[in-house]
Structure 1
Amino acid sequence: MTAPYDPSDREKVVAKLPSELRRELKVRAAELDTDIQDAVTLGVEAWRKTKSQIAVDTTGGSSFATYLPAGLYDKLKKDCKARGITYNQGIAQSIRLWLDRHPSPRPKPQRVTGARRIIFGNQKGGVGKTSVSAGVAQALAESGHRTLLIDFDPQGHLTKQLGHPLIEIDSPSLAKHMLGEVKAGGLADLLVPIKGGDFEDHLWLLPACKDAFLLDAKLATSRVVRIKETALEKALEPLEHDFDFIVVDCPPSLGYSMDTAIYYCRTRDGEDNDASGIVVPVLSEDSSADAYDMLEDQIQDLTEDLGVEITQLGFVVNMYDSRKGYVATSSLEEWQKIGEPPVLAIVPELKDQREAVRVKTPLLAHAPYCEQAEAMRTIARRISG
């Protein structure tokens, strides 16, 4: 097994559900900080106790998978047979019942600071910043949040993995906007809608550009950008009120580019301390801890030099596999012992993410019910709550 828990007390179930019901379930579960599988379980248990039935139109339904406690699946099928309805209808009615009994909480007051800004950073490469930032952005969008995902890494892996080309070196780009090399505005024209899954119509990508490798050097010598750390914020400011979340996949660097990203996620005046901040993907091994020490020093330097507050929202222990033995398990324990910032989730080492990258499809569209996808939803709930 690859995760530090035993899932043997649950069994996978698959049904056909209409897309609107699936989306409503995911949004409500996110609003109430509830796992989807727990919501469905509660719905099934409640449905089995009630004699009334709320017919749900399941025409044109597509695949939906979740996990129910062992034995509940068979009981549900028997109840469906006794009531003369299909299993798909039984699951749909159970979900509808849970939704009706768990209404959406009152909307939060209107933000005065624009989008919430979440950056994913770690000086060490290969820890999965790209896969985690992309998965969390998809989960946020799936929950009904208008989300912008920014490929701020000059290598452009995020852009390529989602099946899009990098912006050409002579074209307008985020880097050129940061350096004042293009007219104000127009950045919105570069956004690409990400299709597929229940996040469609809520997720956009700002692709990487081939000239991004030059950004650090140009920021260091630019006379146009007076305060280097503000360059990313000034470039993105026109977009902020169009989105609920802006998610940034940062470069594995401690240079000026990373400074601008860290400054961008600072706590602004009038903003809750945990509304924006940095998430740090790590591995269960010592080199990740060494890299985090360097990142923490950089955050501390910016905090002291500029008099700002940077919230570390938490760690994501990525690509975890307990079969690697003591090195992995003991390292995981060390991350968990830190306590603050907390470990937001443990993402198991499975083939689903690699397959999604190979076919250039978002994880939550390629394998929406895999363990890795559920981990992304957990992270999204914890940072958006």
Structure 2
Amino acid sequence: MTAPYSPDEREKVVAKLPASLRQELKVRAAQLGVDIKDAVTEGVHAWRDADGPRPSVNTSGGNSFATYLPTGLYAEFKNDCKERDIPFNQGIAQSIRLWLDSNLSPRRVPRTTGARRLIFGNQKGGVGKTATSAGVAEALAEGGERVLLVDFDPQCHLTKQLGYEMLGIDNPSLAKHMLGEGNGALRDLLVPIEEGSFGGRLFLLPGCKDAFLLDAKLATSRHVRIKETALEKALEPLESEFDFIVIDCPPSLGYSMDTALYYARTRDSEEPSESGVVIPVLAEDSSADAYDMLFDQIEDLTADLDVGITKLGFVVNMYDSRKGYIATSSLDSWKTIGDPPVLAVVPERKEQREANRLKAPLLTSAPDCEQSEAMRTIALAVKG
């Protein structure tokens, strides 16, 4: 079963594979920074070159799996399967298993420069900051990284959409620790997200409504001499435990957003692409206006504090070309900017809304959907 895929001179190939094999492939490809279609292509070539029959793979209970092979390879591979007298699905499964056996999981080397910091921000609400920050954090954890996902928005959508309780307004919280009012260790507030393939690698710092008061309190707080450092001082004790700290920011122009932008700055020990700002947008004009405000805020902060803050890229969310010229021309405009680049275009689909209703991570509720694949694409892009 094929369909033309001209941009990369590839064609779409659909097979039925068990969920465990699909998941192992996705995790290993993410760990090694390899695109899934390239991994499958390597496996197919290795399978065709292998001497003798390969061990059979259990493909019972398989579900649809789609990828792209170089044009012409599908037909050649299908003929090989016929000559070896095995079903096509079994041939694909054996090819993937061969690639997995030849490309083992890398040994994790702890970072010596502290966690990489990714903040997801835009001055407009409803552009998908929460969905994108959660999805990318999930994809990073799926790929073997230890990730802390921080709900920094007083509306606490991230916490609620993942099915966790907000922190009580009179209890310790991130905002209170930023103001020097928190009791105990911030580490004690973290919640492990154990679903799917995240076990032991993905943690949530839940939100609290007290963050609504953060801007006003930071303005008068004596806890930190430079207000912009408050978030960094609060999160610094956790950095040695994680490879990435991912922050879902509020649509704000105040001190709280300044603290997040400062936290994402390039440190002396880092390359500019290691930490920075990911900007979720929509394919419409109001997102562009909001980005102009964020751009000005970043420029002002970098000039005032003499720091570098990398704009890692745009994520165009909820894209639907059926909306016509407004959507398509706006997407073209985002792509034309060039620096920062468009990291991914996330289609308008039901799976993200269903995940929110289920109070479940997108990558466990719908691991094979287009939106999940887009999150993995973004994760690979920010990992570099």
TM-score by length of 1: 0.89
The one-letter code of the counterpart of 1:355 is E
* In structure 1, C-alpha distance between the alignment counterparts of 2:378 and 2:56, rounded to whole Å: 31
- Deviations along 1:270-316, whole A, 9 cap, x unmatched? 11111000000011111111100100110011101111110000001
1:183-202 to structure 2, matched below 5 A, reads 183=183, 186-202=185-201
1:86-101 to structure 2, matched below 5 A, reads 89-101=90-102
Secondary structure of the 1:282 match is strand
Give 2:47's aligned residue.
47
Inter-CA distance 23–272: structure 2 relative to 1 (3 Å threshold): farther
* In structure 2, C-alpha distance between the alignment counterparts of 1:193 and 1:107, rounded to whole Å: 20
The one-letter code of the counterpart of 1:180 is G
* In structure 2, C-alpha distance between the alignment counterparts of 1:274 and 1:104, rounded to whole Å: 24
Give 1:172's aligned residue.
172
- Deviations along 1:69-111, whole A, 9 cap, x unmatched? 5997787677557656676654332113223445667977x63
Secondary structure of the 1:337 match is helix
Inter-CA distance 344–250: structure 2 relative to 1 (3 Å threshold): same
Give 1:36's aligned residue.
36
8 Å Cα contact 1:153/1:251 also seen in 2 = yes
8 Å Cα contact 2:81/2:87 also seen in 1 = yes
Inter-CA distance 301–68: structure 2 relative to 1 (3 Å threshold): closer
1:126-141 to structure 2, matched below 5 A, reads 126-141=126-141
* In structure 2, C-alpha distance between the alignment counterparts of 1:339 and 1:370, rounded to whole Å: 27
Secondary structure of the 2:229 match is helix
Give 2:15's aligned residue.
13
- Deviations along 1:203-235, whole A, 9 cap, x unmatched? 111100121111111111112222110010000
* In structure 2, C-alpha distance between the alignment counterparts of 1:275 and 1:61, rounded to whole Å: 40
Secondary structure of the 2:123 match is coil
- Kindly state the Cα deviation for residue 12 of structure 1 after the two structures are TM-superposed: 3.3
1:112-151 to structure 2, matched below 5 A, reads 112-151=112-151
- Kindly state the Cα deviation for residue 384 of structure 1 after the two structures are TM-superposed: 0.3
The one-letter code of the counterpart of 2:371 is Q
The one-letter code of the counterpart of 2:204 is L
8 Å Cα contact 1:37/1:66 also seen in 2 = no
- Kindly state the Cα deviation for residue 17 of structure 1 after the two structures are TM-superposed: 5.0
8 Å Cα contact 2:111/2:243 also seen in 1 = no
Secondary structure of the 1:30 match is helix
The one-letter code of the counterpart of 1:193 is P
Larger deviation: 62-71 or 187-196? 62-71
* In structure 1, C-alpha distance between the alignment counterparts of 2:115 and 2:356, rounded to whole Å: 28
8 Å Cα contact 2:30/2:142 also seen in 1 = no
The one-letter code of the counterpart of 2:310 is T
Give 1:383's aligned residue.
382
* In structure 1, C-alpha distance between the alignment counterparts of 2:202 and 2:277, rounded to whole Å: 20
Inter-CA distance 380–347: structure 2 relative to 1 (3 Å threshold): same
The one-letter code of the counterpart of 2:225 is R
Secondary structure of the 1:278 match is strand
* In structure 1, C-alpha distance between the alignment counterparts of 2:318 and 2:363, rounded to whole Å: 17
| TM-align CA RMSD | 2.8
Give 2:271's aligned residue.
272
- Deviations along 1:319-369, whole A, 9 cap, x unmatched? 111111111111111111111111111111111111111111111001101
* In structure 2, C-alpha distance between the alignment counterparts of 1:107 and 1:201, rounded to whole Å: 14
Q: Which runs of 5+ in 2 are unaligned?
A: 1-6
* In structure 1, C-alpha distance between the alignment counterparts of 2:196 and 2:16, rounded to whole Å: 16
1:323-342 to structure 2, matched below 5 A, reads 323-342=322-341
- Kindly state the Cα deviation for residue 198 of structure 1 after the two structures are TM-superposed: 2.1
Larger deviation: 58-67 or 284-293? 58-67
- Kindly state the Cα deviation for residue 201 of structure 1 after the two structures are TM-superposed: 2.4
* In structure 2, C-alpha distance between the alignment counterparts of 1:334 and 1:269, rounded to whole Å: 33
The one-letter code of the counterpart of 1:160 is K
Give 2:182's aligned residue.
182
Give 1:252's aligned residue.
251
Q: Which runs of 5+ in 1 are unaligned?
A: none
- Kindly state the Cα deviation for residue 192 of structure 1 after the two structures are TM-superposed: 0.9
- Deviations along 1:45-82, whole A, 9 cap, x unmatched? 43234343443664998857332459977876775576
* In structure 2, C-alpha distance between the alignment counterparts of 1:233 and 1:252, rounded to whole Å: 19
The one-letter code of the counterpart of 1:131 is A
Secondary structure of the 2:209 match is coil
User: Aligned residues: percent identity?
Assistant: 68
Secondary structure of the 1:318 match is strand
Larger deviation: 364-373 or 21-30? 21-30
Give 1:155's aligned residue.
155
Give 2:305's aligned residue.
306
Secondary structure of the 1:280 match is strand
* In structure 1, C-alpha distance between the alignment counterparts of 2:50 and 2:199, rounded to whole Å: 35
* In structure 2, C-alpha distance between the alignment counterparts of 1:176 and 1:359, rounded to whole Å: 30
The answer on 1:289 being equivalent to 2:291 is: no
The one-letter code of the counterpart of 1:212 is A
8 Å Cα contact 1:23/1:143 also seen in 2 = no
1:363-374 to structure 2, matched below 5 A, reads 363-374=362-373
Inter-CA distance 6–45: structure 2 relative to 1 (3 Å threshold): closer
